[in-house]
Structure 1
Amino acid sequence: MKAEIRKLATFVEEVHSEMGRPVSPPTRKAAAVAVIRNPFAGTYVEDLTLLMEMGAELGDLLGRRCVAALGIAPETAESYGKAAMVGENGELEHAAALLHPSMGKPLREAVHHGAALVPSSKKRGGPGQVLDIPLGHKDAAFVRSHFDGMEVTLNDAPRANEIMVAVVVTDSGRPLARVGGLKASEIEGKDGLR
Structure 2
Amino acid sequence: MSPLVIRKLVTVVDEVLIEMGQQVSPPTRRAAAMAVIANPFAGRFEVDLNDLIERGTELGRLLTEKAVGALGIAPEMVESYGKAAIVGEAGEIEHAAAILHPKLGSPMRAALGGGAALVPSAKKRGRVGSVIDVPLGHRNAAYVRSHFDAMEVGIADAPRAREILVVVVVTDSGRPLPRVGGLTKDAILGQDGLR
Structure 1 SS opposite 2:61:
helix
Letter in structure 2 aligned against 1:86: V
TM-fit CA distance, 1:48? 0.5
Give the distance between the partners of 2:111 and 2:136, measured in 1 at CA.
16
Tell me the number of residue pairs that the alignment of Structure 1 and Structure 2 aligns. Answer: 194
Residue equivalent to 1:36: 37
- Determine whether 1:148 maps to 2:149: yes
Q: Deviations over 1:147-166 (max 9, x none)?
A: 00001111110000000000
Letter in structure 2 aligned against 1:55: G
Structure 2 SS opposite 1:30:
strand
4+ runs of 1 displaced by more than 2 Å?
A: none
Structure 2 gap ranges (5+): none
| TM-score, with structure 1 as normaliser | 0.99
Q: Deviations over 1:60-93 (max 9, x none)?
A: 0000001100000000100000000000000000
Letter in structure 2 aligned against 1:105: S
TM-fit CA distance, 1:110? 1.4
- Determine whether 1:116 maps to 2:88: no
| TM-score, with structure 2 as normaliser | 0.98
- Determine whether 1:190 maps to 2:165: no
Q: Deviations over 1:103-124 (max 9, x none)?
A: 0000011111000000000000
CA contact (8 A) 1:32 1:166 kept: yes
Give the distance between the partners of 1:140 and 1:5, measured in 2 at CA.
33
Give the distance between the partners of 1:74 and 1:175, measured in 2 at CA.
21
Letter in structure 2 aligned against 1:45: E
Residue equivalent to 1:126: 127
Give the distance between the partners of 2:4 and 2:188, measured in 1 at CA.
36
CA contact (8 A) 1:23 1:176 kept: yes
CA contact (8 A) 1:63 1:168 kept: yes
Give the distance between the partners of 2:144 and 2:136, measured in 1 at CA.
11
Letter in structure 2 aligned against 1:122: K
Give the distance between the partners of 1:114 and 1:49, measured in 2 at CA.
25
Give the distance between the partners of 1:119 and 1:100, measured in 2 at CA.
10
- Determine whether 1:5 maps to 2:6: yes
